[in-house]
């Protein structure tokens, strides 16, 4: 009797030992599965975060690398497959380096002259409609009238009034998962002059005369005072996929549909290069105010045409 009882207890012990082993193994398997699931989930979240950060184009890094005064938007875009920014159409006449005196007031939009120096109207609504190109430019004294602000979250500056509008536009786009990374805003007269003269020096080194070097440079870079960057009224925008051509990005599509709601227009459309003197720049967005932006967008005109300067 005791022998049979011992056998039963032995079998029970083995049964429970096996059960315990199975339970421990099962627990270990569950822990391993949980750990694997956690790692996969964490990896997915990290990849998603990395993707979102990439869509921001790492704003602080972009600003540090590309928006220092020693580096222009051209330097950035030349590192991608985008065309050169502010590439003016050939055949236009060069602007003399001596730009003359500045008028006391800017003419009304409907009567602005097609060429010559223009004043920077800091105290009227005309400031947002000033038109600069290779034939219309501001004297270096305009800088005394500028009121600049940094665009939040970047090292880029704009006219404070335009900067406020840009920040609203940025926030609206970000709420839809679109990040309009500011790359190049205000550029001082002296910086524009330095960048321009660097190209002139390149041509001089190739044996061209100073006049020819100046004219050739004018087909690649706007002379000082004739770039909208000089008055802080525009922003060159990039995103993570700009290297594929900014015009092919969701950021560009969003801007085409919504930018006018915040007062911005595409300054250099592809079909207006013969009028603006600048080839298609999908990244260059100019502030003109909401009312004007809506009218310009609906009219299909470029700024020169809208102001009667074409």
pLDDT tens figures, 70-116: 233 334 333 333 333 344 443 333 323 323 222 223 334 334 566 67
pLDDT computed for residue 244 by the predictor: 72
Tokens of 41: 């989930």
Residue located via tokens 């090292």 = 155
Instruction: Name residues whose C-beta falls within 8 Å of residue 216's C-beta, 6 or more positions apart in sequence.
Output: 199, 203, 208
Distance CA 129, CA 289 (A): 8
Range with the poorest average pLDDT among 46-50, 178-182, 197-201, 281-285: 46-50
Instruction: For the chain, give the mean pLDDT.
Output: 75
Distance CA 207, CA 79 (A): 27
User: Which residues are registered as beta bridge partners of 234?
Assistant: 286
Task: Kindly calculate the radius of gyration of the chain based on its CA atoms and give it in whole angstroms.
Answer: 30
Q: Looking at the predicted structure, is the pLDDT value of residue 254 above 90?
A: yes
Tokens of 154: 């970047």
DSSP category for residue 133: B
* Strand, coil or helix: 280: coil
Q: What are phi and psi of 22, to 5 degrees?
A: -60, -40
Distance CA 54, CA 107 (A): 45
Instruction: Name residues whose C-beta falls within 8 Å of residue 148's C-beta, 6 or more positions apart in sequence.
Output: 157, 158, 159, 160, 163, 186, 232
DSSP H helices, the chain, are 2-55, 59-66, 73-78, 160-174, 189-205, 210-218, 250-258, 273-276, 290-299, 303-306
Residues 141-153 have a mean pLDDT of: 91
pLDDT computed for residue 197 by the predictor: 96
Nearest CA to 240 out of 49, 79, 57 is that of 57
Over residues 20-51, the pLDDT tens digits come to: 666 777 777 878 777 766 666 555 444 444 44
Q: Looking at the predicted structure, is the pLDDT value of residue 231 above 80?
A: yes
Q: What count of other Cβ atoms lies within 10 Å of the Cβ of residue 39?
A: 10
Q: Looking at the predicted structure, is the pLDDT value of residue 203 above 60?
A: yes
Residue located via tokens 């536009």 = 169
Residues 241-258 have a mean pLDDT of: 90
Q: How many CA atoms lie within 13 A of 4 on its CB side?
A: 1
Domain regions of the chain by residue span? 1-55, 58-306
pLDDT computed for residue 21 by the predictor: 67
The CATH topology of domain 58-306 is: Muramoyl-pentapeptide Carboxypeptidase; domain 2 (3.30.1380)
């Amino acid at each position: 009797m005791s022998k049979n009882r011992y056998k039963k207890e032995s079998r029970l012990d083995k049964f429970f030992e096996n059960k315990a082993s199975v339970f421990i193994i099962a627990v270990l398997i569950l822990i391993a599965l949980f750990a694997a699931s956690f790692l996969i989930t964490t990896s997915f979240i990290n990849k998603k975060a990395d993707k979102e950060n990439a869509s921001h184009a790492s704003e602080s890094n972009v600003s540090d690398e590309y928006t220092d005064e020693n580096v222009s938007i051209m330097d950035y875009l030349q590192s991608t497959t985008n065309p050169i920014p502010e590439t003016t159409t050939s055949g236009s006449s060069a602007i003399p380096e001596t730009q003359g005196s500045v008028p006391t007031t800017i003419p009304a939009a409907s009567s602005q002259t097609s060429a010559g120096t223009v004043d920077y109207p800091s105290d009227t609504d005309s400031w947002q409609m000033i038109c600069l190109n290779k034939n219309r430019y501001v004297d270096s004294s305009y800088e005394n009238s500028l009121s600049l602000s940094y665009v939040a979250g970047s090292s880029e500056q704009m006219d404070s009034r335009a900067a406020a509008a840009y920040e609203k536009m940025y926030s609206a786009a970000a709420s839809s998962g679109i990040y309009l990374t500011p790359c190049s805003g205000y550029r001082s007269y002296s910086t524009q002059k330095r960048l321009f003269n660097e190209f002139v020096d390149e041509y001089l080194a190739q044996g061209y005369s100073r006049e020819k070097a100046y004219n050739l440079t004018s087909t690649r870079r706007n002379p000082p005072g004739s770039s909208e960057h000089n008055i802080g009224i525009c922003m060159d925008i990039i995103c993570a996929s700009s290297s594929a051509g900014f015009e092919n990005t969701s950021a560009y599509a969003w801007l085409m549909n919504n930018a006018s709601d915040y007062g911005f227009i595409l300054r250099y459309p592809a079909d207006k290069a013969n009028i603006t003197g600048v080839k298609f720049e999908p990244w260059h967005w100019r502030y003109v105010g909401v009312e004007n932006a809506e009218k310009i967008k609906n009219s299909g005109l470029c700024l020169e045409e809208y102001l009667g300067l074409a």
